């Protein structure tokens, strides 16, 4: 058994600056395992950034492309457990022989070698045999090899090949990852909600998947009528991040818009008929209606005691402008972006 999980492929690994070296090195090994320039390849990075995904992708690719090659994926913990039980049953030689006969060895989480002297010794010998026979070895680690507290002879061998780092993807890449994962579920995440989620998940892609799974669950529980909106996303995000920057409140909207048009917040509630102020006021009303639960009446009140038909008229004006005026449309999407990501 190769222990491969076919869900993880190069096709569904989204590339970005944060991972292109690691991804391309992994692909190079997978395309040419018998003669890789990177032996060993070590992929390191924090938890949840795609190390296991890439390692599995190598295995799956080789299995497809070179069906005769023996590929083995193993976590360092599993390897240790196998070793321990083989010692108990006097079968360590069999185990080692079996490992020595693979063509490609994929070892996940080698930070688990720390403090395991016996595993390190066995692995040292195995590594030497494989490498002498030109068998590809790829490993992952949650820290750079230089920071790995293992026997020096083992560490120096791990440094013979290539080390490639995985870091957290930028916002756009995170959004692409979320979209790609969401596409394989039944839920549709509107772009503004996706951006909101990705803005707040800043350290770990696995959490991004956690949020998505939660949204799917909520939708399942609440039924098809349930829209994936900002409110629901916020509810779910609370379980993943301690601080969601800011609530989208009328106040945040007013400050964002005033800021954008170089006005004071007070101007929005004033009686001024100055063109720029009127526009900013109408846009603010439109956005408050869109992003909060405020009624037309209460919106009128917060904009200097205007009546509800004035608010309605303002909202309609903005909607019309969005149809006809490119500049307004651009301003609005910029404003919405600022408001959505809570940086009002
Ligand atoms: P690690 O082993 O580094 O802790 P994983 O490989 O388990 O992280 O990745 C966590 C989750 O994030 C996985 O479901 C993986 O598919 C996903 N993931 C991470 N990076 C990417 C990426 N660049 N493209 C697509 N999915 C990714
Ligand atoms: Mg992993």
Q: Residue with structure tokens 């098809």?
A: 224
Nearest atom, ligand 1, residue 108 CA: 2
pLDDT tens, residue by residue, 283-329: 999 999 988 889 999 999 999 999 999 999 999 999 999 999 999 99
Q: Does the C-beta of 19 come closer than 6 Å to ligand 1?
A: yes
CA 311, distance to chain mean position in Å, is 40
Q: Which residues pair with 308 in a beta bridge?
A: none
The response to whether residue 62 sits with its C-beta less than 6 Å from ligand 1 reads: no
Residue stretches of the annotated binding site for ATP: 48, 50-52
Residues having C-beta closer than 5 Å to ion ligand 2: 51-52
Integer Cα distance of 174 and 231 in angstroms: 20
In whole angstroms, give the CA distance from residue 282 to residue 10: 48
Ligand nearest to the CA of 73: 2
Task: Please name which of 231, 177, 179 lies closest in space to residue 204, comparing C-alpha atoms.
Answer: 177
Give the whole-angstrom CA distance, residue 226 versus residue 257.
30
Peptide bond into 40 cis (omega under 30): yes
Backbone angles phi, psi at 45, to 5 degrees: 170, 165
Q: Kindly report the backbone phi and psi dihedral angles of residue 41, in degrees, each rounded to the nearest multiple of 5, phi listed first.
A: -100, 130
Helices (H), the chain: 20-31, 51-65, 76-88, 92-100, 117-132, 152-158, 171-183, 191-200, 205-222, 230-237, 250-260, 265-269, 275-291, 296-302, 308-324, 326-340
pTM of the shown model: 0.75
- 214-242 pLDDT tens trace: 998 888 777 777 788 888 998 899 888 87
Q: Is 53 in the pocket of ligand 1 (CB under 6 A)?
A: yes
The sign of the CA dihedral 213, 214, 217, 219 is negative
ipTM surpasses 0.95: yes
Among protein residues, the one whose CA lies closest to atom 11 of ligand 1: 206
Quote the tokens at residue 62. 């080789």
To test the pocket of ligand 1, the residue of 206, 207, 210 to mutate (highest count of ligand atoms within 8 Å of its CB) is 206
Q: Express each pLDDT in 167-198 by its tens digit.
A: 999 889 999 999 999 998 878 899 989 988 99
């Amino acid at each position: 058994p190769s222990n491969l999980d076919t869900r993880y492929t190069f096709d569904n690994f989204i590339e970005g600056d944060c991972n292109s070296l690691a991804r391309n090195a992994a692909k190079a090994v997978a395309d040419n395992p018998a003669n890789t320039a990177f032996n060993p390849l070590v992929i390191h990075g924090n938890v949840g950034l795609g190390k296991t995904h890439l390692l599995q992708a190598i295995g799956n690719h080789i299995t497809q492309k070179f069906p005769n090659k023996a590929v083995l994926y193993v976590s360092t913990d599993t390897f240790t457990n196998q070793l321990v039980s083989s010692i108990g049953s006097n079968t360590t030689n069999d185990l080692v022989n079996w490992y020595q006969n693979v063509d490609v060895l994929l070892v996940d989480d080698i930070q688990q070698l720390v403090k395991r002297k016996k595993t390190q010794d066995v692995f040292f010998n195995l590594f030497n045999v494989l490498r002498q026979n030109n068998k590809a070895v790829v490993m992952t680690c949650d820290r750079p090899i230089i920071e790995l507290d293992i026997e020096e002879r083992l560490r120096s061998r791990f440094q013979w090949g290539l080390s490639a780092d995985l870091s957290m993807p930028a916002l756009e890449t995170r959004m692409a990852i979320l979209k790609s994962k969401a596409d394989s579920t039944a839920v549709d995440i509107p772009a503004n909600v996706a951006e909101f989620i990705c803005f707040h998940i800043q350290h770990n892609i696995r959490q991004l998947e956690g949020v998505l799974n939660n949204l799917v669950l909520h939708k399942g529980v609440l039924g098809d009528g349930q829209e994936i909106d900002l409110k629901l996303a916020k509810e779910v995000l609370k379980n993943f991040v301690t601080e969601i920057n800011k609530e989208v409140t009328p106040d945040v909207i007013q400050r964002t818009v005033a800021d954008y048009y170089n006005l004071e917040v007070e101007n929005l509630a004033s009686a001024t008929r100055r063109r720029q102020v009127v526009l900013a006021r109408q846009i603010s009303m439109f956005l408050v209606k869109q992003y909060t639960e405020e009624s037309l009446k209460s919106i009128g009140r917060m904009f200097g005691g205007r009546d509800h038909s004035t608010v309605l008229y303002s909202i309609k004006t903005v909607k019309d402008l969005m149809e006809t005026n490119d500049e307004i449309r651009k301003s609005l999407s910029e404003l919405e972006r600022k408001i959505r990501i809570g940086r009002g």
